[in-house]
Each structure stands twice: as structure tokens, then as C-alpha cells.
Amino acid sequence: MNEWTREQWEQHKNDSEPSLLYIYTPMCGTCQVASKMMQVIKEMVPHAIGQANINFLGSLAIDYEIESVPCLLIAKNGTVYKKIYAFQSVPYLLEEIKEVDSKNNV
């Protein structure tokens, strides 16, 4: 996954297809496990997926009210539909992405 800037996220967030932003910190053990899950997800879905180290995007954490890491934002058509903190499993994440993907375009 590529590191995204705030501007890249804002651009992808407005796509008509779901966009995902994985937010992490490098020293977080749980984030390391979530990163492995996200690598699998990246290979399984055709959507834009980026990652961001929250240490460099403090304003994003404030604006999106990120409570902890890891965090996965799933957006479509300019709206963040999901904010996931518990990366339970790859199938769980795929279901959450599918749910956002099925939302009608407004």
C-alpha cells in the first residue's frame, strides 16, 4: 500500500467506488497485525487503498475524530461510511467494504 497525503485521501474519498484509508502508527503491535490483513485486502478488492501514519496527519485525526489506531476509514461519494477500529478478520473487513460498496450513489 502506498502512503497517502491528506490531499490524496480527500480526492479518493470523493470517488464513486469505495476508497479505504488505513491509519496506523509504526510502533503499534496491533497495527502490525492489521497491516498484514490490509495487504491481503489490497489483493482481493479493486478499490483505492492507501495508508497514513497518524503521527504525520494530526489534523486528519482531529477532523475525523480518530479515537485510536489501527483505524480503517471506508468512504464513497465524499462520505465516510465506516470507521473500523477492531480488525476482527479479513472476511469481516471484506463484508464491511462490500456493505459500503452496495450503497446507492447519491
Q: What is the pLDDT of residue 42?
A: 96
Q: What is the pLDDT of residue 105?
A: 55
Q: Does pTM top 0.85 for this prediction?
A: yes
Domain spanning 2-101: CATH superfamily? Glutaredoxin (3.40.30.10)
Cell numbers for 19: 476508497
62 vs 85: CA distance, rounded Å: 16
**For residue 73, what pLDDT band results from cuts at 50, 70 and 90?**
very high
